[in-house]
Chains A and B, each alone.
Chain A
């Protein structure tokens, strides 16, 4: 078989071709996010203020929401009643997170490190974890009253379980080789725990803490919805019952700032503490 003359390529010519790159890969991330925000707010504006497809009681326009955001922001900055409510919720979230972190970590160590915890305690924890924990809210109110304590209890109750599970998983995470190394070095159980299992488990524990940071917010607001009090949750409920939908929107937005702050605080501490986990580590444990 002979090749057709037109298929013979100039032997000096490079074989150069361009790989197709999708549009989304060529634009920077911030631009893609901005574009999406513009589109969503555009449609939102169209549906409410411009065309009136949706009633302002159901969905306020972006303009109204912005106005109310500014109003609430001013109230917060000038130390108005909303700041007091935010402070109440912040305190609830803080204490609940602290309690969940210590209880979750302790139970996680018990379950992850002791046979008793693994065999006897874990099944109960799994059973409780499958229950809808919000259903316990009336009990907490009955036990602890309408003050901040019942909200702290509910929020902590919800947030404890992810920390238990991730701490226990973290304590299992040390490899067989690492355990053997410590055994061969004659390390005591305590040394193995502190020098090996705890550091190895830290990334897992922080994953649990991040999930808990989200859960503790949900728990605190649910508690305030159900048990009243002076927090942001009560404020949202009042605004909703007065059909002040823009207010509900802006309160939720400011509330999400609290959640974000807690989440990034945990992420920041993790970055400082678990400095070695950022890169691949071929020399470490594979």
Chain B
């Protein structure tokens, strides 16, 4: 099988839709220990785009995500979502963590409307329940709306947390290694589900992950970060066609991209 002349891996910015999230000249220094966690990070997420960031531990990707979600203030630079600077938690940011973090005393559907309940009160949360049911159907959990999280499997719980992230129609999805606690088969399946859901919702998503394969299979672009100080060293456009399938993992192009990233990171990892 021969590949049609592969494009160069390093990106030239393609003409795309409007920018949703813009970060420019972003730096973060922890005053306590004079640690520079991030330096001069520039990145733009366009509408409907899926961007991942990979890098070894301590490269600042978690710090970047925390700043993007408004949980941590930047030291320098611009952090702007939908034209408004991010200066704290925001309703138009959807987040997902490594753990599903569902409250065990609330049913699945109550967990999903929790962000609405916190921001707008019980009445608004009640009004959002039909929408929560729709989302549950979208992730294939339609029959589990009134079940307590204790009865859900790990993969089901993460699907419920996808619904919770989507309930407020966020402008951007921030995903912090969302499936890394799941077993490998479930994770592959969930990644495909995530791709389908993001396509259906036309979501703009930003994923932090350790898994190169996961990043390649899901992303339009991958940002490779390196530590000390945390910075983006390369941006890679993934030119695999959409929709992506798990079979693509076995294609030469996929292997080539993974090898390229591994090469970039490898030098660092073994020092």
A residues engaging B (CB < 8 A)? Answer: 175, 177-178, 180-187, 191, 195-196, 199, 275-277, 279-286
Contacts and interface: CB of A to CB of B under 8 A. Distances in A.
Interface in B87-113: 88-91, 93, 95, 97-105
Given A183-B71, A279-B151, 14 more contacts: A175-B99, A177-B98, A177-B99, A177-B101, A184-B70, A185-B115, A185-B118, A186-B88, A195-B103, A282-B152, A282-B153, A283-B160, A284-B103, A286-B181
Given A177-B99, A180-B97, A283-B156, A186 B89 contact: yes
Contacts of B90: 186
B157 A191 contact: no
A38 B97 CA distance: 57
Nearest to A282: B154
B150 A191 contact: no
Interface of B: 69-71, 88-91, 93, 95, 97-105, 114-115, 118-119, 148-154, 156-157, 160, 181
A183 B89 contact: yes
A177 B119 CA distance: 19
A282 B152 CA distance: 7
A199 B153 contact: no
Given A175-B99, A281-B104, A187 B118 contact: yes
B157 A184 contact: no
Which secondary structure characterizes the binding site on chain B? loop
Nearest to A202: B105
B71 A280 contact: no
Nearest to A276: B104
15 contacts: A177-B97, A177-B99, A178-B101, A181-B101, A186-B91, A196-B103, A275-B105, A276-B150, A281-B104, A283-B102, A283-B104, A283-B151, A283-B152, A284-B100, A284-B104
Contact of B150 (A177, A181, A187, A283): A283
Nearest to B98: A177
Given A186-B89, A283-B154, A180 B104 contact: no
B164 to A, nearest CB: 9
Given A175-B99, A184-B71, A185-B114, A285 B91 contact: no
Contact of A199 (B88, B95, B102, B103): B103
5 closest A-B pairs by beta carbon, nearest first, are A283-B157, A283-B152, A281-B150, A283-B149, A186-B89
A185 B101 contact: no
A224 to B, nearest CB: 40
A56 to B, nearest CB: 56
A180 B89 CA distance: 10
A280 B150 contact: yes
B102 A284 contact: yes
